[in-house]
Amino acid sequence: MLLDSLMDGNVKLSQAHLIVVSDAQRIILMNISHPILRIMTDFYAKILDGPRIFATVTSAPERWASLDLTRLEIAFRAQSFFLATKAADSWYGPLELVVEYDKYNPQEADDELTSRVRDTDPGGLLLRSKHFRTARRILQELGLLAVDLYWKHVLDELCSSTTDGDESDLRKKLSQLRASLPNRTLVATYGSSSCNASPKLAKLLEVLSAYEGHGTDFRGIVFTRDRGVARILAEILGLPHAGLSFIRPIAFYQRKSNEANHELELYRAFEEGRHNLPVLTRCNEDVEIPQASTIISFNLFEDHLTYAYCHARSKGRHSHLVHMIERGNNEQRRVLNHVETIDADLRGWIAGFAQGSTNAIPPRSLYMSLDPRVDDGAEGEDQEYMLDPTTSACLYKPDAEAAFYRFVATFEQQAVWNQGTSSISLEENDSTRYRCTVTPPKGIGIPDIVGPSCFTKAQAKREALYRACQECVRMGYMDYRHFPQPPWYSDDPHSEARGSAQEVQTANTSAGTHGYPRKSPDFWANSSKYPVSTLYPTVVVPDSLGGESHAPVVILTRAPLPQIPNFLLFFAGARATAHFYKGAPFEASPVQLQALRGYTIRVVRSLTNKPFDCPAESLLCFFAPLAPSWQPLSGAPGFLGAQLRVGEHIPWDSVQLTADYFAVPLWSSLTSLDDSARDAVVQDRNVEFTMRHFLVKVRHDLTPLSKVDDSPREAEYPNFLEYCKARRKDFEGLEDEKQPMIEVSAVPGVLNNLHPMSAPQTPPAKAPLKYLIPELTYKFTIPASTFRTLWLIPSIMTRIDSYLLVKELDARLFHLSIHEQQLLVALSTRAAWTESNYERLEFLGDAFLKVVASNFLYVTMPSAGEGALHNARQGIIGNKILHECATRVGICPYIQHKRFVPKLWQPPHTPDAPPTGAQSQQQQHQSREAAKDGEDVDEDVEMADAESSESNGPKGKQKRSKKQRQMDGQNTLWMGDKARYPTDAQHIVADVVEAILAAAFLSGGHEVALRAAKRLHIPLPNVAQWTDFARIAAEHPTAQHAHPSVVDLRPDTVEAVQTVVGAIFSRPALLAQALTHGSAFGGTEGASYERLEFIGDAVLDFLVARHIFERHPHLSPGGLTLLKGAMVSNRALAAFCVHAGLHRHLVHSSDQLANAIAKYVEALEARRAREYELATRENRLPGQYWLDLPMEPPKCLSDVVESVIGALYVCDSFFEVGVGRFFDAVFKPFMDAHVRLQTLSANPKVTLLELLQAEGCQQHAVVKIPQERQNAPVHMEGECMHAVQIHGQVVASATDLSAAIATRKVSLAALDALANDPELLARICDCGSGESKKQHQRQQSSIKSDEVMQDEEAEAAEVEEAMEAIEEGEL
C-alpha cells in the first residue's frame, strides 16, 4: 500500500520521520523484488534527508551462526545489532556519540605572546621552528590561555639551563619575558570578549561536566594527535577554575620506548583513581590501562586500528565513545564516515581485538592511514627508528604495528605462494614478564621473530613487531608503501613544510620561461647512510632488442631498491621490455667490493668513452654480470624475488678480469679463434678510449692476403695486409699471414633509448670498419651479450630515477592513491622525450576539473547567473591558479621536463668524494669537450645573476657554452616559451596538474581524483567527498528560492522526456527549469535553463572526453580534441536535440524563435535523408550531415540538451546514474554513428591538416607524385597519384582519375593509418624534441646550397657554350 501511494504521488517519503520494518528476514528470502526494497531503491535513495529506519529480525538461536545480514545492511543503509548474544563472548562496542563544536579561526595578531617570543629570539638561536608549530597547533585546538601556558613551560625549560656567550644574554631576555607574563584564569564562555578557550575546548569541558554525577567512579580517556596539545590539555582540565573538581587528569607520553615503569605506574594510578582521565596520543594508543566508561576522541583519526584501540579501552555497550567534530566541516564528516564504515570481517576482528585477542591478523579491509603516530615533537628525541630510502620516512616503534599490518595486507593481496598466515602470539614468562612472537607470512622465508622479555604486554608486542619490521626491511620486502609518511605541507606559514614551494627563477630572455629546482630522488642520498658491504641486487633482463641476445645484468645498491615495473626500451625502430627481479641481500667482502668498483668504473668509462673514477665508498650502486646458471623464478611476484640468491651467480673471476684489464689479445695459441670470437666485443688498438665493435663471425674464407669488394676502407689496397703496412704505425708484419679474418660491426654510441624514435647518430662520412685481422685485434673483457645490456644501462638508470621520484611523490603527497605508471605519464612533458607524455591525460583531467569546479560553484552560488558562474570557474581552473597551487604544494621539481643526455650520464655517487688523478683528468677532458659540438638539448637561457655580474664585470652576461648549460640544467628545470616548446611554464605546470587529476581518476574514480585535487590545494573549500556537493546544495538557499517562478509542465511532457532520457527526474521542477527558455517569462524574472546549462555543459564535456579517451586508447591528443570538439559543438548538439525530439518540449514565448526552429528542423531532416541515401548507395556510414547546412542552428537547441543533462545530474545528487544511462543509450550511439576522424570535416584533407597541426607536426604535406610513362601498365593512363608525407616519409597513397578524389582518398587513408597505428606519428615526428627543426633547417640549407651550385654550374655551361660559339664564328 505504501509503495502504491508513493508511486501515485499521494505520499512523499520526505514527510516521514521513522520507518519500522518487522520480520525483515523475510525480505531476503523472496525471489522477486520485495516492495520494501523497491521503496528503498526507487524513493529512499533519491532524497537527501530520509527518515530513520528501524528493522527487527527474528530468528531461532540455532540459526544465528548462519544468519547473514549483509544484504539487509546494504539495502537499508543501516547497521545490525543483536539484543540477544550470538555467543557468550560476543562483544558490543561502546555507544558512539558525535559532539559538534563551532569553527575557530584565531588570527596571529590575537596571539600577542607568540609574537613577543619570536621578536625576542628572531634568529632562532634557542627557539626552533618546531616550538612555533606546536604553539600554532595549541592555539588552534585549545585557545589563547593554552598558548600562554605552553610558552611558560618552554621559557622555564630554556631559562633553567646555564650557558655562556650569546645564549646567556638571550636566556636573560627570555627570563625577563617569563617574569612579565601574568597568570590568567580560564574563561570558556564562547562569544565573550574575555574568552580565552577555543570552542573545541569549551565543548570538551561541557561534555566532561555531564559526568560529574559519577564522582570518584568516573574513568575516562582522551585521545589527541599532538603531545604538546595533550600536555597543555591535561593541565587545563586540572585547573581549579575549570569547574571539574572530580577530574584528575594526567598527560601520558613516553619519551623513551623502554620506560615501562611509567606505563605500570599509570595503570595503577588509573585503577586506584589517583588519575581518572589520562590524555593519550596515538603514540601510546596501545598502552595497557584498565577499561574506561568514556572514551573521547579529541581529534579524529582516519585509522581503523586507532578505532579498534578505542573499542578495546572501553567497557563495551556500557560505555561511550565520543567523537568531536567541527560543525559544518565536511572533511571531518568524511573521516568519521570512513572510520565507522566496516564490513563483517573487520567488525569481527575489532570484537576479538577489544576482548584481548592478539593472535589474529586484521582483514585486508582494515584501513590504516599513512599518518605517523609519532608527532614532530618526538622526532628529535633519541629514539630508535628505521629510514625508508625512497621517501625519507621514519618508522618508529609506535608505528611498527600498523606498518606490519600494511605489509601483511600487501603480501596477501599479491602473493601466490602464501603457504600460511601471519600471527602474533603473547606468552607470559612469569607473573611480571611477557614475550611476543611474530610469525611473518610463510611465503617470504623469514622465520618467527621473538621479541625481548618486557614488563607489559603492550611493550612486548611493540618490540616484537618492530623487530619483525626490521627483518622485513632488511630483506627488502617492506618498503615505502608500508612506512608512515609525515605531513607534506603545513598550514602554518612559519613551518618548514616538506613540500613547500621552492624559489622560482625567471629568465631574462623571456618572461614566460621559469626555472624550478630540479628534484633528485631521495633514494640515492639516503643510500649513502647504508653500509657499503651489504648489497641489494636488482637483476635487469631485457628482451632481445634488434634480434641480438642480451645477458642479465645485476644492479647492486646499498639500500633496498623498491620494485621497479617493467618498461620498454627502443632502438632503431625495435623495442624490448626490460624486466626486473629483486634478489636477496648479501655481504660483499673487501676484495669483492673492490672488484665491483673496478667493474663499474670500467662500464662507465666504456659507455661514455670518458675518464671516470670514484672510490667504492662513494659509489651508491655497482654493476655486475650474471652467470648463465642464474634463472628467474617462474611465476614469482616481483617482491618475492628477494628469495633469489643472486650473489651466488656473479662470476667473480670475470668481474676481477674486467676491473684489471679493459682488453686482452684476441689471438692466442691456447684457445681456438672460434672459441675466442664467441660473444665477443673487439677493438683494433690496445687503448681504453676507442671505438669498439661486435664480432659478427669468423671468416675462414678470407685471409689478410684477400681483397674484398664490400669494404671500401681497403679498396685502394691489394689486400688487408698491404693496408696495414700503409696505415699502421710501426707495423712489423704478421706471424701468420693465412689466419682467417673476422667480420665486425661498430658498437653505437650510448643513446637515449626511452623514445620510440631512438636511433643511432648519423654515421661518419669515412668508410666504416668491417674486417679485422685477429692477430692485430684485442678482445674487450666484457662479453657482447652482457655489454648490449650494459649499453642500455644509462637509459635504464634514468627511468629508474623517474620511478623513484614518482614513488616518492605518490607516497608523500597522495598517500599511494594514484597508480604509479599513470602518475609518471602525468608528470612527463613532451620535452622529456619519453614513450608517453601527459597530453592525453591532460585532455581528460581538464574535463574532470571543469566538472568539479562547476559542481562547487553551482551549489555555493545558488543565485548566480551563467555569466557569473563562468567567470568564477576561471578562478578555479585557470592556468594561473593551477600554477600557483602546484608551486605552493611543490609539484614543479618532480615534473619530467628534461630530456636525458647520455653524454652527461654518470652512475649515482656521492658528490663530495675527493678528486683522484683520474677525476682531474676527467675534469680536463670535460673542459675540452665544452668547446666541441654535441647534442643540443637545452638552448641558452640568460639568467639574472648578480654575483656573476659583479665578479666578471661585463663578461658576466656572456653566453654560456653548451656544456655549461647542460651541466647547469642538471640542477635547474627550465620550462616555457622556447622555440621548440611554444608553451609558457605556467601553461605546462597547469597541464601537469590536470593530468595528475586524470591519473587519479583512472586509478580510483571520482573520490580519489577529488582527494587529489584537495591535496593539490585547488580551491574547493569544505568539499571532502562527492556527496558533499548535494549536502552543500541542501544547506544553501536553492535557485528556486531565489527565482520562485517556474513554469508548469504538462504530465505528458515529463513522461515523454523521461522516456527519451531513460531515467526518472526525482525533482520535476528541475526538469521544468531545464526546458524553459528565458523568453517564457515575458520579461519577468523566472528560472530558465541557464544555470542547468552551465553544469550540464561541464558534465557532457566530461562524459564525451571519457568516452573518447576509453574508446580510442591510442589516439593522439590532437585527435581526441578534434573528436570532442565535434561532438559537443552547437551544430552537433542541435542535430542531436532534433534527433531525440527534445526540441518539441522546449518552453518559450517567442514567435521568431519558433520560426527559426521550424526552418532549421525542416532543413536538417532533408539533409539527413540525403546523407543516409548517399551512405547507403556508397556502402559507408553516414557522416555529420548537419555540417553542410547553410544556416546556423538556434542556440537554444544545444542549450536544452545540456540543461536536461544538468537537471538529471542534479536530481541524482551530482552522480552520473541517470545521466550515464542517457549518455550510453541515446547520446553515444548517435555521435558514434556520425562523428569519426574521417567525418570531422566535409574535406578530409582539412581534417588531416588540423590533426597534424594539433599534434605540433611542422613537416607534412599532401603531394602529387608524377607518373612516368613506363608506369602506364600499372596505373591507368591519366591517373593521378597522391601521397601524404610526414617528415619525408609516405604514410599513405592513393590514385584516381580525378585529382580531387585522389586527395580525398589519400587523406582518408592517412587518417585511418594515424587512428589504427598509435605510434606512427611518434616514430616519424620529432618536432616536439627540437631536433626536427634543426634537421629541417640543415636540409633546407643543403638544398639551397645544392640549388646555388646547380645554378652556378648551369651558368658556367652557358658561358662556355657562348664562348665556343664566338670562336667558331670568328674562325
Interval 321-376: pLDDT, tens: 999 999 989 999 999 999 988 888 888 899 888 888 777 788 888 999 999 988 76
Residue 1336 has pLDDT above 50, yes or no: no
Residue 1341 has pLDDT above 60, yes or no: no
User: What is the grid cell recorded at 734?
Assistant: 704478421
Amino acid at 1011: R
Confidence of residue 1340 (pLDDT cuts 50, 70, 90): very low
Residue 1331 has pLDDT above 60, yes or no: no
Share of the chain above pLDDT 70, in %: 80
Mean pLDDT of 106-131: 86
Q: In what order do the strands lie in the sheet with 1289-1296?
A: 1260-1265, 1280-1286, 1289-1296
Mean pLDDT of 208-227: 92
The predicted structure's pLDDT at residue 2: 73
Burial class (CB within 10 angstroms; exposed 0-12, middle 13-18, buried 19+) of 651 = middle
Task: Please state, in angstroms and rounded to a whole number, the distance separating the CA atoms of residues 926 and 918.
Answer: 12
> What is the rounded average pLDDT for all residues in the chain?
82
Confidence of residue 26 (pLDDT cuts 50, 70, 90): low
Residue 1084 has pLDDT above 90, yes or no: no
Q: Which residues pair with 314 in a beta bridge?
A: 292
Task: Please state, in angstroms and rounded to a whole number, the distance separating the CA atoms of residues 1371 and 1369.
Answer: 5
Looking at per-residue confidence, does 824 or 166 come out higher? 824
Residue 1235 has pLDDT above 60, yes or no: yes
Let me know: does 744 contact 772? Beta carbons within 8 Å.
yes
Mean pLDDT of 29-56: 71
Task: Please state, in angstroms and rounded to a whole number, the distance separating the CA atoms of residues 260 and 256.
Answer: 9
Query: Who contacts 152 (Cβ-Cβ below 8 Å, separation ≥6)?
Result: 178, 181
Mean pLDDT of 687-700: 93
Let me know: does 423 contact 449? Beta carbons within 8 Å.
no
Residue 635 has pLDDT above 70, yes or no: no
Least confident range of 458-467, 601-610, 787-796, 918-927: 918-927
DSSP class per residue in 611-651: -----TTTBSEEEEE--TT--PPTT--GGGGGGS-GGGG--
The CA distances from residue 403 to 338, 367, 826, in Å, are 20, 12, 29
Residues of 113-152 as b/e, b for ≥16 C-beta within 10 angstroms? bbeebeeebeeeebbeebbbbbbbbbbbbbbbbbbbbbbe
pLDDT in tens, 1021-1056: 999 999 999 999 988 755 444 444 667 777 788 999
Mean pLDDT of 537-541: 94
Confidence of residue 11 (pLDDT cuts 50, 70, 90): confident
Looking at per-residue confidence, does 1300 or 687 come out higher? 687
CA nearest to 1314, candidates 1259, 1368, 1237, 1254: 1237
Mean pLDDT of 1065-1073: 91
User: What is the grid cell recorded at 1011?
Assistant: 582527494
The predicted structure's pLDDT at residue 1345: 41
Instruction: Collapse the DSSP code of 1115 into the 3-class scheme (helix H, G, I; strand E, B; otherwise coil) and give the result.
Output: coil
The CA distances from residue 773 to 293, 686, 747, in Å, are 92, 14, 18
Looking at per-residue confidence, does 865 or 1308 come out higher? 865
Confidence of residue 952 (pLDDT cuts 50, 70, 90): very low
The CA distances from residue 1142 to 653, 1197, 1316, in Å, are 81, 8, 36
The predicted structure's pLDDT at residue 67: 59
Residue 1368, number of CB atoms within 10 A of its CB: 8
Task: Please state, in angstroms and rounded to a whole number, the distance separating the CA atoms of residues 562 and 477.
Answer: 9
Share of the chain above pLDDT 90, in %: 49
Mean pLDDT of 304-324: 92
The predicted structure's pLDDT at residue 720: 92
Mean pLDDT of 879-903: 91
CA nearest to 1186, candidates 1201, 1171, 1200, 1202: 1171
Mean pLDDT of 1117-1135: 92
Residue 912 has pLDDT above 90, yes or no: no
CA nearest to 502, candidates 200, 891, 1012: 891
Least confident range of 415-419, 1249-1253, 1257-1261: 415-419
The predicted structure's pLDDT at residue 254: 60
Confidence of residue 931 (pLDDT cuts 50, 70, 90): very low
Mean pLDDT of 58-76: 62
The predicted structure's pLDDT at residue 1200: 95
Identify which of 64-68, 572-576, 797-801, 1110-1114 has the greatest average pLDDT.
797-801
Confidence of residue 1365 (pLDDT cuts 50, 70, 90): very low
Identify which of 6-15, 92-101, 275-284, 846-855 has the greatest average pLDDT.
846-855
Task: Please state, in angstroms and rounded to a whole number, the distance separating the CA atoms of residues 1010 and 1001.
Answer: 8
For CA atoms 1122, 1123, 1128, 1134, the dihedral sign is positive
Residue 817 has pLDDT above 90, yes or no: yes
User: 170 in the Ramachandran plot: left (φ > 0), alpha (ψ -120 to 50) or beta?
Assistant: alpha
Q: In what order do the strands lie in the sheet with 514-517?
A: 505-506, 514-517, 972-975
Let me know: does 1310 contact 1284? Beta carbons within 8 Å.
yes
Residue 937 has pLDDT above 80, yes or no: no
Mean pLDDT of 786-807: 96
Confidence of residue 1268 (pLDDT cuts 50, 70, 90): low
Task: Please state, in angstroms and rounded to a whole number, the distance separating the CA atoms of residues 444 and 1193.
Answer: 67
What DSSP character marks residue 906?
-
Confidence of residue 942 (pLDDT cuts 50, 70, 90): very low
Confidence of residue 1269 (pLDDT cuts 50, 70, 90): very low
Mean pLDDT of 915-924: 45
Confidence of residue 1295 (pLDDT cuts 50, 70, 90): confident
The predicted structure's pLDDT at residue 1017: 94
The predicted structure's pLDDT at residue 79: 67
